[in-house]
Every structure is written in C-alpha cells, then in structure tokens.
Amino acid sequence: MITLNINGANVSVEKGTTILEALRFIGFPIPTLCFVEGLTPYGACRLCVVEIGEGSSSKLVSSCTYPVEEGLKVRTASKRVIKTRKMIIELLLASCPQSKTIQDLASQYGVHQQRFKQEYEDCILCGLCVRMCEEQMMAKAIGFYGRGENRKIGTPFGIPSEVCRLCGGCMYICPACQLRCTFNQPEKAICGACANLSPPCLDKEQFDDMMCYMDPCVACEIKKD
Amino acid sequence: MKTEDIEAILEKYSISRGGLISILQGIQSKYGYLPEKSLNIVSEKTGRSLVDIYGVATFYKSFRLKPRGKHLISVCLGTACHVRGGPVIAEEFERQLEIKAGETTPDKEFTLQAVNCLGACALGPIVVVDGHYFSNVNTTKVKQIINKAREGLDKVEIKTDERIFPVEVSCPRCNHTLMDPFNLIDGYPSIRVTTSFGRKHGWLRLSCLYGSYNTEVEYEISEDTVRNFFCPHCHAELIGVTNCPNCDAPMVSMIVRGGGMIQICSRRGCKEHKLDLNGINF
Ligand code: FES
Ligand code: FES
C-alpha cells in the first residue's frame, strides 16, 4: 500500500494505481476526455491535470498516466490547475467547437468564451478510437500517421482496411464526432449504408456475431429478413 | 517489385520492433521509395500491423511513399533563407515546374521539396539540386537551374576541371597499346577494348581522360550489368586482382604508359576507378 496526500487528506491505495484512479476511488471529480476504463491511459488531452509536489518544485502532470508515489502531495483544485484546465478546454473548443462532449465540458467548467481561431476540425487526436480498435476490437485497422501539424488518424494509404470489420467502435467512442457520416462520399465512409444500401460487412461472414456498435444498421435488417 | 527482394531485405535485419526502420531504409534504398505492396509484405512477414508500419513510414521525412523524380530540387525555407526570399523562390519553382512542393512532375523528371535550413544560411536563399548547391538564388536563376539539372549536373566540365588529365594505357599481358588514335572521345584518342556480356562481344571505347566517364559502345547494355573486358590484340582478359569497393564487381586493370596501373570497375554505371602510379595512390 502506498500513502499519498490528496488535498490535505492522507489516503492509502494499492501500488501501481494511477493518481486518477486514486482520485476517482475517493470521489474527487476529475474531468477526462482521452481516458476510458478498459483502454490503456494515453495522456493526450491533459484535461485530468493535477498539481503535485510543493512550493517552487510543484508541477502539473496528467493524473491518468502518473502512478502514485509514497508521500506524494496532490492538489486537484489549486488555482493553477483550474486555470490550466480552463485553458485546455478553451483550446479544445477552438479546434472542435461542434463537439457536444467538449461543449458540455466547457459549460461545466465555466468556459464562456473562446479567444482562438476556430478550426472546425473533426479530430482532437485523443487516440481513443485507435486504442479501441486495437485493444477492444482486436483489429488495428486505424492508427496515427504523419506528424506534427499533419498528424492524422486513418487507415493505411487512406483506403478501406482489410482488417476493419466495420464494428463502428471508433465512432462510438469518439468524443469529437457524433457518428461521423460521410454518405455523400460512400467509398470513404465506414459503412456507407444509407447511400448504397449494401453495407460491406454483409459479405464478411466470419463477423456474424461479433460485437458491433452500428445501431440502427441496414446490414442487420437485411440479414434478419 | 518482387516478393523475394523484400524477403531478402527482411532477412538481413532483425524482425524485432527496432528493426523496422532499417527494413524500411533497405526497401527505400532499393526502390527509391516505399511501394505500397512492399509495406504489405513487411507487415505479413514481420507480423506487425500495417497501421504501425504506415505510421512509422509517414512519421519520418526521409521515407517516401511515392516514387521520386530523377532530379531532386530542395528549396530552403529555413529562417535565414526565408527572410532572404526563399518562399518566392519556392513559388517560382512551383510555377515553372507546375507542381507543388513535395510533388513530382508527371514526367518523373523533377521532385520539388521544401526543407528547413541546409546549413549554408549566409549564402541564402539556397537551392540544392542533386547534391549541388546554388547560392544567392533569385527568381531569374530558377530557369537556369532547372535547365542545368535537366542536362545533368554530374557531367564533368572536361575543359576546365583540373582533376582531369589524359592517360595512355596498354594491355598488362601483351603490352600492346590500347589507344585508338582514329576515334576521338573528348577530343583525345580513345581507349579501345573488347567487352563481352553473356554471348555478345563488341568493342567499347573509353575516354582516356582520367575522370571522364564518356564511352562509346557497339552494343548497349543495361545499367548495372557486369561485363568482361578483353585486350583486342592478345584476347587476354583484363582482370584485376581486387573487387570494386563500391559494388563488389571485379575491377579491370590496365597498364599506364610511364609506369603504374589503372583500375576501373566492370559494372556499367559504376564510376569507381583507381589510378596507381608506381605505388602512389590517387
Ligand atoms: S484523461 Fe488524462 S490526459 Fe486525457
Ligand atoms: S536557412 Fe537556408 S540554409 Fe540555413
């Protein structure tokens, strides 16, 4: 067991847990975006910042990736943390203003203005879909490519992946898009069902009773009949 | 592209996580870029997912997924060149070649790329074409640079380059001269030998200027093939004792009049040559 100090209170948690897990266990509300139970923590969104250490040696870390240490002093609601978190939300809002998840976060944390240039991206590179695809759906059909400004998520060479079985898990978990539908470009869409009425998963017999997030799905309707 | 070639490259490097970059480098040095199919093969053979490989291939600037043109033009857009007008130069190249930076002309002649600092900031704006630096470039020079690149910058200026001088050679076995005074190359008598490749025999004339690669041949053979060289008088093979340090093909040796040996690589397209004047190595 490891004892750490959270907001002045001493708590003991199992070795190997992260600060976020410890905080949630005790009941401190910490917003997260790129952390979902069942997927490895990735530390992309930085929403879960907390301040550790004391005085001049204190620093901000992402609690979802930081393992607890003996005697660690954690502050979850210091001025610095709140200011930083607001800024992060503001930045996220600037890149994906249309995302409901981010809008909710903004109103919840009192971010009422957004001073940066609107980008209208449809991705915040949180990597949830990549991890979902790899760790839960065992497919590894999508991944990051490019770097820096040009970092994107997609299938290799931008063509439909052979290992993708169209489960829809990536769209289900995405915080930035609520089911990104691109029916007017059916060849690029994941399902394209509405446009061509023959979802490509129909001829992939082996995925018959695999988990799928598509709901409602034309393929299932056709199969039922 | 053949599957076996990729497999040969794969065999050379370890399949562990760290081996991937070496594998991709191997493929790129063979084809000049990373063909889509090759990545599929790598993924199949190493058991790593295609996404990961694609991620690595797109992460590093030095990997290309599209074939590169014959000539590579790099325009510097680093800070120093930027303030000296690099972007204007880049635009001019884009306009003249009718491509965008990072693209290749449809005739596969030129690839244009923008780079950040080539380490010659004081001479900026810098443009590098096939390894040749052009300094203080302005828009009027762009056309010249493109034309020069088309002609080939590797061509040696025979008249002005002082590393070039004529040599007279003879056969190491019969000591007959190999010079052909009736056929001039580069304005000097040429060196005449017989070559054979497979079943074909024919004459080959080399420029006698040390450092010039101009030749004339009876039968054209493709780049990269290794030929045998013979003395046209005694028909002995002109074979050296060593192999080419560059490409491992056997070296061809001839005696230089006045003492010494000259060795050239027997592979077409390989420019390795050595001059050994009485033990003094050039
Ligand atoms: S939840 Fe911790 S960085 Fe995103
Ligand atoms: S900035 Fe162009 S060479 Fe340094």
CB within 8 Å: B54 and A143:
yes
| A93 C-alpha to ligand 1 centroid (Å) | 16
Digit-coded pLDDT (tens) for A168-206: 788 888 888 755 555 555 555 555 545 545 555 666 665
Specify the DSSP class assigned to residue B224. T
**Coil/strand/helix, residue B95:** helix
Reported confidence tier of residue B174, pLDDT bands at 50, 70, 90: confident
**Model-wide pTM > 0.80:** no
For residue B79 and ligand 2, the question of a CB distance below 6 A is answered with: yes
Assigned token pair, A77: 């609601």
Query: Chains A and B: how many Cβ contacts under 8 Å?
Result: 33
A35 pocket-lining for ligand 1 (C-beta < 6 Å): yes
Rounded mean pLDDT of B250-254?
Answer: 85
Enumerate the β-bridge partners of residue A130.
Answer: none
CA dihedral A57, A61, A67, A72 (to 10 degrees): 30
Burial (CB < 10 A; 0-12, 13-18, 19+), residue B182, is exposed
ipTM surpasses cut 0.85: no
Give the pLDDT band (50/70/90) at residue B282.
very low
Which domains, ranges and CATH numbers included, belong to chain B?
3-59 (no CATH), 71-151 (3.40.30.10), 165-276 (no CATH)
**Is the pLDDT confidence value at A224 over 80?**
no
The response to whether residue A64 sits with its C-beta less than 6 Å from ligand 1 reads yes
DSSP string computed for B177-216: B-EEEEEEETTEEEEEEEEEETTEEEEEEE--EET---EE
Residue A45 — pLDDT band, cuts 50, 70, 90? Answer: very high
What domains does chain A contain, in order, with CATH numbers?
2-116+191-211 (3.10.20.740), 128-173 (3.30.70.20)
What are the percentages of helix, strand and coil residues in chain A, rounded to 5?
35, 15, 55
Provide, rounded to the nearest whole percent, the portion of chain B with pLDDT above 70. 92
B49: nearest CA partner in chain A? A140
| pLDDT band, residue A64 (cuts 50/70/90) | very high
Name the minimum distance, in Å, from the CA of A157 to any CA of chain B.
8
pLDDT of residue A131: 94
Q: Which residues contact A118 (CB under 8 A, 6 or more apart)?
A: A94, A97
Nearest CA in chain B to A142: B51
What local confidence, expressed as pLDDT, does residue B160 receive? 62
A140 to B54: CB separation less than 8 angstroms, yes or no: no
Q: Which ligand is in closest contact with the Cα of A23?
A: 1
pLDDT at A51 over 90: yes
Q: Do A140 and B55 touch (CB under 8 A)?
A: no
